[in-house]
Each structure stands twice: as structure tokens, then as C-alpha cells.
Amino acid sequence: MANKNPSTIPHFTLLTTLLHFLLLTPISSLNITTLLSPYPNLSDFSSLLSATAVAADLDSRSSLTLLAVPNSILRSTDPTHHLPSSTSLPDVLRYHVLLQYLSWPDLTQIPPTGKLITTLFQTTGRAVNDFGSVNITHEPATDAVTLSSPSAYSPSNSTVLSLVKSIPYTLTILSINSLLIPSGPDLTASQTRPLLGLNITKALIDGHNFNVAVSMLTASGVLSELEQDEGGAGITLFIPTDDAFSDLTIPANFQSLPADKKTVVLKFHVLHSYYPLGSLESIVNPVQPTLATEDMGAGSFTLNISRVNGSVAINSGIVQAGVTQTVFDENPVAIFGISKVLLPKEIFGKNPIGNGGEIDDGGAPPPDMGALSPESNGPSGDLPSPTGFHEEIRSDAGNCVVWRLFLVSCCIGLYLLV
């Protein structure tokens, strides 16, 4: 039997230990402000992370999901307004740091019943019970991902707008449409309160010039359904004015639709998420499912929302309407008046009505999705990876792999010399 050189055993052990360390240990800590710097629409959120020292808390951590709030939403609401007395702004920001890496496929596999994910706020010991966790739900019919407090009546909720950045197994950054506020001990009263209980009929009547819409929504039963569905992710209604109905050149065709199709058209004017005006102005995923999508199937009856000439434009594929006024806006319900009746192409596509067979865009050109601003940059589908996303992942992961291979080569060379 050949003799073994005992000196090779320590060398081999040393080499394998170094390889294990280099391949499994992160090369550097997370610099969250640097990672957010290419996204100017998230600059305010990044500044808050730095000013409150929360960014420094993340330097030594990995396997995170960050819920970032765009500038337009932060600037439309004071982040410190209505905070529970026991909750500081830094803790609210910590509530936006999930201590688990969640890729987009991970999010789409979350059941509609939801999944609790621990946040950085929970680790401070200041959270009540499990109220330092975020409940995440995914609705397969609309592909919407909703986040809320696990309390019985969540004081706040939010919807994922887009996937901003992902470094595999290390960090995911998601853009969301409102600031999340954790429940606290001084919210006990609010946890037992009823839902908003908004009388949508009264809100529309008080808004004037919505009589036709009120009549149709009431007769179809859609209005009653909406008033019972103000919780959860909330709702956003686009209500045509009376003038919009008058502008239909062939109104008889619309009025003579079967009751079930008329109901679908009305639901086509409703998003099953709460979007204040600031969220609509900076929306990253222009194609949005509607209540009609939930009834008729994924991918159908969607609206394309964009900014045209400085205003919010809603394109149905047949007509393009503009938002003319905010009728009501209080989480979880937003109601906007619009200039045109939204005609779904699934019903009117073969013979568009209301404009003599031509798209009625109110004089505005159709949205150029390739020319959207950075705050509106995104894909034309329901929350997939934004343009350049895969290249960015390959770049981040590739640089890390190259650096590790270099160090491994150095270790092998050192071993051979010894």
C-alpha cells in the first residue's frame, strides 16, 4: 500500500475550507442607498432610510425584501401624519423591510389566504404580538399582490406596483402604492371599528354630473357590491360624467346590451386596488386588471393607464379617457370622474361604438409606452420584470461570480506553491 504524505491532509483541509467560505459567504454588505440611486422616483424613500439610520441597519443583513414607496406618493402624504404615538418614523420604515428574500415567482405562489412575513420592525421588540409582520396575499385571477397588517381591521394596506430590482437570494426591491403603518397598542379602538362604510351613491351625487352612472350602477347591483367590498386591497372607480354618456354617437347600442354584458362594462370601470391620484400618475405597470377581469378571466378586460400631456389617461383599446376630477379619495376608496365611457374591446372591438368606429382619444395621442418617464417606466403586462431587469440580475450576479472565481484561483495557486 502506498505511503501517504501526511502534509497533504492539512493543505487539502485548508483549501476546502477556503473554497467553502468564499463560495457561500457574501463578498460585501448591502449598501441600500447605492442600490436605490439609479431610481430617481425612489429618492425620497432612500433619503428617509439614510436620515433615520435604517439604511445602516441593513448593511450587515442579507436575504431581504424592501418595500419602497415612490416620491409622488410620499410627497402627497406626510409620512409622520396619523402615526400611532407608540410608532416612530424609523419603525415605520423598518416595517417596510421584510426579513426574507422573495422573488417574483415566490410572490405569485403565495395563496389568497395570505402569508405572514417578519419585518425588521418585529425584531425591535416594540411590535405588539405579531403586528410587526406583514400579511402578503396574491390573487391569481388578477395577479395582484397585496400587503397589509395582520390585525383584524388593518389600519393600512398597499398593493405592489412593480418589481424594481432583484439580486438573487440576497435582495428584492418592490415598489408599492402607499406607506404601510404597523398596528400599535393605541390602535385598539380602530381594530374594532367597522369599515369605511362610504355611501358611493351620495359621493357621486355630491360630485354632480354623474346621474347616468349612478342610475346604471344602482340598477345593475354593481353599486351595492362595491359598497360591500371597500376592505381588503380597496377599490378605485373611474366614473364617466353625464356628458361622457351623451357623447356616445350610438348610445342605443350600449343601452340595449344584455344585463350581464352591461354589468361587465360597468365593472370594467373599477380596479380592485386603492390607487390615489399620485399612484396613478406614477404607475409603473400600465396594464391593470379590473373587476371585469376577475369575472371574465385573466388577461381580459384590462385598462392601460399612463400619463398623456401631463394628465392621467385611461385607454380601453377602443377609447382613451382622461381623469377630469377627484370625486373622493380616502383609503381604501378612490373615485375619479373621467371624460369618456370606457368601452372594452372584448365587447365592442369588432364594431367600436361611441366614435364612428375610430378611437376617441379626446385629441390626445395614444400613450407611447416606450417614452414613459423613469417614474412610469415598466412593462406592458401585470407586474413582470421591468425592462432591463434580467440584464441587471445577470450583471449583479455575474460580477459577484467573477470576483469569487478570481479569489478561488488565487487560493489554488497558493496551495500549489505550498
Q: Summarize pLDDT for 284-313 with one digit per residue, the tens.
A: 567 888 889 888 887 889 999 988 887 899
State the pLDDT at residue 388. Answer: 37
Those residues whose C-beta lies under 8 Å from the C-beta of residue 278, and which sit 6 or more positions away, are: 70, 72, 73, 75, 76
Interval 132-158: pLDDT, tens:
889 899 988 888 899 988 876 555 688
Those residues whose C-beta lies under 8 Å from the C-beta of residue 10, and which sit 6 or more positions away, are: none
Confidence of residue 314 (pLDDT cuts 50, 70, 90): very high
State the pLDDT at residue 132. Answer: 82
Lowest mean pLDDT among 103-117, 229-243, 399-413: 399-413
Amino acid, res. 294:
E
Mean pLDDT of 247-252: 67
For the chain, which residues make up each domain, given as ranges?
A: 25-192, 200-373, 388-418
Mean pLDDT of 250-255: 64
State the pLDDT at residue 344. Answer: 92
| Chain mean pLDDT for the chain | 74
130: pLDDT strictly greater than 90: no
Percent of the chain with pLDDT over 70: 66
Interval 366-412: pLDDT, tens:
333 333 333 333 333 333 333 333 334 344 444 555 555 666 666 66
Phi, psi of 179 (to 5 degrees): -70, 135
Domain 200-373 has CATH 2.30.180.10: yes
Phi, psi of 123 (to 5 degrees): -75, -10
Interval 39-59: pLDDT, tens:
999 999 998 898 877 888 787
Interval 331-378: pLDDT, tens:
778 899 999 999 999 988 765 433 333 333 333 333 333 333 333 333
Domain 25-192 maps to which CATH number in 3.40.50.20, 1.10.3720.10, 3.40.50.620, 2.30.180.10? 2.30.180.10
Interval 179-214: pLDDT, tens:
888 876 443 333 333 344 568 888 888 888 899 999
243: pLDDT strictly greater than 70: yes
CB burial of residue 134 (10 Å; 0-12, 13-18, 19+): buried
One fold for 25-192 and 200-373: yes
Element (H, E) at 240: strand 235-240
Those residues whose C-beta lies under 8 Å from the C-beta of residue 136, and which sit 6 or more positions away, are: 102, 107, 110, 114, 115, 116, 117, 145, 146, 147
315: pLDDT strictly greater than 90: yes
CB burial of residue 252 (10 Å; 0-12, 13-18, 19+): exposed
